[in-house]
Structure formats: C-alpha cells, structure tokens
Amino acid sequence: EIVLTQSPATLSLSPGERATLSCRASQSPSGYLGWYQQKPGQAPRLLIWDASNRATGVPARFSGSGSGTDFTLTISSLEPEDFAVYYCQQRWNWPLTFGGGTNVEMK
Amino acid sequence: EVQLVESGGGLVQPGGSLRLSCVASGFSFSTSWMSWVRQAPGKGPESLGNIKGDGSEIYYLDSLKGRFTISRDNAKNSVYLQMDSLRGEDTAIYYCARDDRYGGGWYHAYWGQGTLVTVSS
C-alpha cells in the first residue's frame, strides 16, 4: 500500500498569497497522483489528475507538479473560495490511497 | 447534470448491518465504474471499492473483504453497499462516486453528498 504524507497540516495565508502544498509518497505512484479540494460540509472535488493536469472547470491558478515520490499543488494567488482542505490521492495501485490533508486557512 | 444521491445511513449498534444506496442520474449509469468512499471524522477519504458498469468486476479494500459487499442494479440506476458486522471504526460519512477515466486511469470525478453512518451502542 502506498502511504501519502501531506505537509504542512495547516497553512495560514491571506487572500492573494501563494500556497504551496506538498505530498510525499512511500513509493513512487509513477506520476498517477491527483489532488482534491474539500470545503466544509461538501464532498471532495477533483482538481488535478496525473500530477499536473487540471480537471474540467478548474481555474488556472491551480497547478500541480512533481515526479517520483514528491508532488506539489500550487495555488498562485489565493481567492476567498480557495480556503479549504486539500487531499492528494494515488491511483497507481490498489488500494487507492489518500493523504491526510492540508488545511489552507485564512490568516 | 450528474447527480448522485446516497441514502440508508444512520445509527447502528456494533455487530449490526446496514445497506446504503446511491441513485444516479444525468449520465449513462450502466457504462460507468462506481466507487464507495468513506471519510471518518477529521480524516482523509478512504476508497472502499468499486464496481464496473456491467457488474462483472468488483474490487474491495482488503481490510473490508467479507464484511462489505458492493452491488448495482442498472435498471434502477443504483449502486449499493451492504455493510455487515459493523464496528466503531466504520463510523464515517459514506460517499458514492463516479469514476472517470483520466490519462488512462481512473479518478473519483463526481461525488454524492454522502450519508452518515454511526456505529455505537
């Protein structure tokens, strides 16, 4: 099972700032890593697939990068609606696993 | 518009059973892989298993085998999760999700609103 470790657990930023979220895998998911956004009381929403591809309708301020075991989600300039919890997920092998999440909160 | 609506959650005693349902609309259900995902309070999501559009393939999280069963009824546009021998650690919000193919693999592209299962005496 691939274990995903996300850091930091909490990121306190202001609107307009840049957010950089990290996801480290216990073994390489071969680039097959996604990112989800979850707001309170809502289901997760797919943002990024296969490390760097934005899902339909996702704003360009969201970008993903990385390879091997280290991946990054970057939000270039935080909008008020971006404050949420973000999870990475690998789909390289079964079971599909998620990280523990990074809470992006407003400073 | 893709819609997934779960139901069947509630309070159940340890050792009890529960059957969750998810009704889908707005897409071709019979050709879609469907998953069940749960999220315990304050934790990340956990993919429990999925089922192919025609029901011919089903995959489970190893730790659940024998207790949870996924099935579907394409005539009713529904997917089910039968949960037996429930334990406290099964307490979570349970989501159904449609899996879409991205880049040759599958992600949980659409999610329902979830149904809460609480296992407690």
- As a whole number of Å, the CA-based R_g of chain B is 14
Shortest CB distance from A49 goes to which of B61, B102, B112? Answer: B102
pLDDT for residue B93 is more than 80: yes
Residue A80's SS3 state is helix
pLDDT, residue A94, reads 86
Taking the mean position of all CA atoms in its chain, how far away is CA B113? Answer: 12
Q: How confident is the model at residue B51 (pLDDT cuts 50, 70, 90)?
A: very high
In single-letter form, the type of residue at position A59 comes to P
Q: How confident is the model at residue B105 (pLDDT cuts 50, 70, 90)?
A: confident
The structure tokens listed for A42 are 């809502």
User: If interface means Cβ-Cβ distance under 8 Å, which residues of chain B face chain A?
Assistant: 43-47, 59, 61-62, 95, 97, 102-103, 105-109, 111-114
pLDDT tens-digit readout, A5-51: 999 999 999 999 999 999 999 999 998 999 999 999 999 999 999 99
Which residue of chain B is at minimal alpha-carbon distance from A32?
Answer: B105
The structure tokens listed for A41 are 């009381």
The nearest CA of chain B is from the CA of A72 a distance in Å of: 18
The nearest CA of chain B is from the CA of A38 a distance in Å of: 10
Which residue of chain A is at minimal alpha-carbon distance from B93?
Answer: A43
Contact list, A95 vs chain B (CB under 8 Å) = 47, 61-62
Query: How confident is the model over B61-69, as a mean pLDDT?
Result: 90
Could you write out the three-class secondary structure of chain B? CCEEEEECCEEECCCCCEEEEEEEECCCHHHCEEEEEEECCCCCEEEEEEECCCCCCEEECHHHECCEEEEEEHHHCEEEEEECCCCHHHCEEEEEEEEEEECCEEEEEEECCCEEEEECC
Query: How confident is the model over A54-79, as a mean pLDDT?
Result: 97
Q: How many CB pairs under 8 A join A and B?
A: 52
Shortest CB distance from A98 goes to which of B44, B61, B62? Answer: B44
